[in-house]
Structure 1
Amino acid sequence: MLRLGYNTLNFWIPYYVSDYVSLNSAQERAFETNLDLALEQHRAKELPKIHRLISELQADLEKPLTFQQIKSYHFKFTAVGQESATIFIPTFSAMLRSLNASQRNQFNKKIEDDIEKVRQERVKLTTEQKIKKRSLDLQAKAKDWLGSLTTKQRGLLTELAGYQVEMEPTFFSVRQHFLTDWKALMSQQRSTQFQQQLKITVHQLLAFENPKVEKELIFYLNRRFDVMRRLNHSLSDNQREHLQGLLTDLRKDMAKLIHE
């Protein structure tokens, strides 16, 4: 599945971009040509980094992870994501710089509508409903990686869901700041600093960073790391074997992608 998804990114990325902006034929051709080049670079430069990081994680997972290890892996995977995104920044910068005023407005409105849609969906729910919904989502993802969950583990994920719901106003604040920064960036698409500013904006989004709420986000992340530490320490031998098996399959698929 990973290989199929990765090998068809040259279709799926333009497909999702089309949800945000309608490009003319010349813009589409330029974007797709630049995207193919970026994907080649990503395969050669970034996939080996991800492969090595998964191998490192698998070695450390032989023993229960410490708080500091979990924190470290969070930032390592975030950094890998940022480095991957950097490969595509010139491609998206060129596409965004080619947009006319109408296309810019269309792009901005789609992002704004997406944020508002999530807000409206959430405002209808009580705090208890939000926690239950988020907990079930977290449990579903955890089952994918672990195969099954104990009552204690479901409780830990519900605890994490509670922290995430508590942070909801801050999370929406980060999204709103991003939207403001994005609109300001798009109004300066002819600037010589546009590509560099786009990189900074994307990196902050991927890391979910914002200086205005930095303390709140650090507090949340530390609580999240502690829950993940306790969850990792609660794993049975069967769960660890299941997790390692999935990571091994992922690493092998990535190795095949690197050498295709």
Structure 2
Amino acid sequence: MARSRFRYGLIGGLLLILTGCTTELAYNTLPFWIHYYIDDIVNLRPEQSRQVKVDLDKIQQWHRTHELPAIAERLGLIATHSTERHTMAQLRDHQEAVKARIHATLQAFVPATARLLDSFDDQQAQALTQWMEDEIQKATERRAKRSQDEQFAYQRDDLEEDTEEWIGSAARHQQPLFAEMAEYQQAAMPTFRQVRERLVSRLFAIIKNRQSIDTEAALSEWVDDVVAWRAGPETETEMAIYRSRRLDWLLRLDRSLDEDQRSQLVDNLIEWQTRLNEMNR
């Protein structure tokens, strides 16, 4: 599975929609593994297990039929635009399209998730909440082990590694770009944490109050805010600044590509477009 991130790029975001899996086999077996992990966490009752399997199969069929073609089409468009330097308008359009695909996929899970949460007894709800708290604590402890300099290096290297998966080896003149973006991420980290904590708190409240609220409506609104990474007016300005910097950074990274890097990027995009079209057959 893909590493958990607080940011996604144009291409990475599109492939994130495949739930972080990078092979056709993983995609085809997702319903099995999602059911397996849910059952492992909350110990599903037989009727819940049957319903989860039915829901997951329907969601995957919908995703295969409706979303894979849309993702493949977008990858093709990015490939076409990547033969030359992108304009800011093109990058902005791609970003909005990525968000739309992620939003559509997450919203597709909302009715089934609400149905499952509504069926939980208190013991199952507690098991899920405890598992989430444990995972958050583990992630927090991992981050706490890194000094500020180590965290900066980790983010810089992570950006470079992700970029090189698409364009090949980064050139020396591109190194400062990765350091620059890592600095932006470091500066925005307090805002990211604030948004994350509020979103997690809301999710816990939905689970706790599932029997006295419209769970589906609450989850749908929560998904909207997750995709927008939104947690109230006090974080809007800082998030807007970060998004503006990220878009400008993507534009300058794109303009820094040499002919070989641009060619490899286009080839990789077309390869993924072909793979997704084949998965849809």
The normalised TM-score by structure 1 is: 0.92
User: 2:44 maps to what in 1?
Assistant: 23
Structure 1 window deviating more from structure 2 (13-22 vs 249-258): it is 13-22
User: 2:121 maps to what in 1?
Assistant: 100
CA deviation map 1:44-66 (0-9, x unaligned): 12222112211221121122112
Aligned length: 259
2:87 is the alignment partner of 1:66? yes
Q: CA deviation at 1:120?
A: 2.4
The answer to whether the Cα contact below 8 Å between 2:82 and 2:265 also exists between their aligned partners in 1 is no
The answer to whether the Cα contact below 8 Å between 2:31 and 2:56 also exists between their aligned partners in 1 is yes
Match of 2:152 among 111, 126, 131: 131
User: 1:202 maps to what in 2?
Assistant: 223
2:252 is the alignment partner of 1:225? no
CA deviation map 1:103-133 (0-9, x unaligned): 1122122222322322222233222111101
Q: Give the gaps of 5 or more residues in structure 1.
A: none
2:87 is the alignment partner of 1:76? no
SS where residue 161 of structure 1 aligns? helix
User: 1:238 maps to what in 2?
Assistant: 260
CA deviation map 1:83-112 (0-9, x unaligned): 112222222221121111121122122222
The answer to whether the Cα contact below 8 Å between 1:2 and 1:253 also exists between their aligned partners in 2 is no
CA distance, structure 2, for counterparts of residue 215 and residue 115 of structure 1? 26
CA distance, structure 2, for counterparts of residue 129 and residue 67 of structure 1? 32
The answer to whether the Cα contact below 8 Å between 1:58 and 1:247 also exists between their aligned partners in 2 is yes
2:271 is the alignment partner of 1:249? yes
2:27 is the alignment partner of 1:6? yes
Structure 1 window deviating more from structure 2 (115-124 vs 40-49): it is 115-124
CA distance, structure 1, for counterparts of residue 277 and residue 157 of structure 2? 33
The normalised TM-score by structure 2 is: 0.86
The answer to whether the Cα contact below 8 Å between 2:164 and 2:170 also exists between their aligned partners in 1 is yes
Structure 1 window deviating more from structure 2 (25-34 vs 206-215): it is 206-215
Q: Percent identity?
A: 28
Q: CA deviation at 1:229?
A: 0.9
Q: CA deviation at 1:203?
A: 2.9
The answer to whether the Cα contact below 8 Å between 1:47 and 1:254 also exists between their aligned partners in 2 is yes
| C-alpha distance 27-40 of structure 1, shift in aligned 2 (>3 A) | same
User: 1:258 maps to what in 2?
Assistant: 280
Q: CA deviation at 1:22?
A: 2.8
CA distance, structure 1, for counterparts of residue 164 and residue 40 of structure 2? 31
The answer to whether the Cα contact below 8 Å between 2:75 and 2:273 also exists between their aligned partners in 1 is yes
2:206 is the alignment partner of 1:181? no
CA distance, structure 2, for counterparts of residue 215 and residue 110 of structure 1? 33
Q: CA deviation at 1:218?
A: 1.0
Q: CA deviation at 1:157?
A: 1.0
User: 1:160 maps to what in 2?
Assistant: 181
CA deviation map 1:131-166 (0-9, x unaligned): 101111111111111111012222201111111111
CA deviation map 1:179-233 (0-9, x unaligned): 2111221123235621121122123223322224111111111111111111110
Structure 1 window deviating more from structure 2 (246-255 vs 46-55): it is 46-55
| C-alpha distance 254-98 of structure 1, shift in aligned 2 (>3 A) | same
Superposition RMSD in Å: 1.8
SS where residue 120 of structure 2 aligns? coil
Structure 1 window deviating more from structure 2 (228-237 vs 116-125): it is 116-125
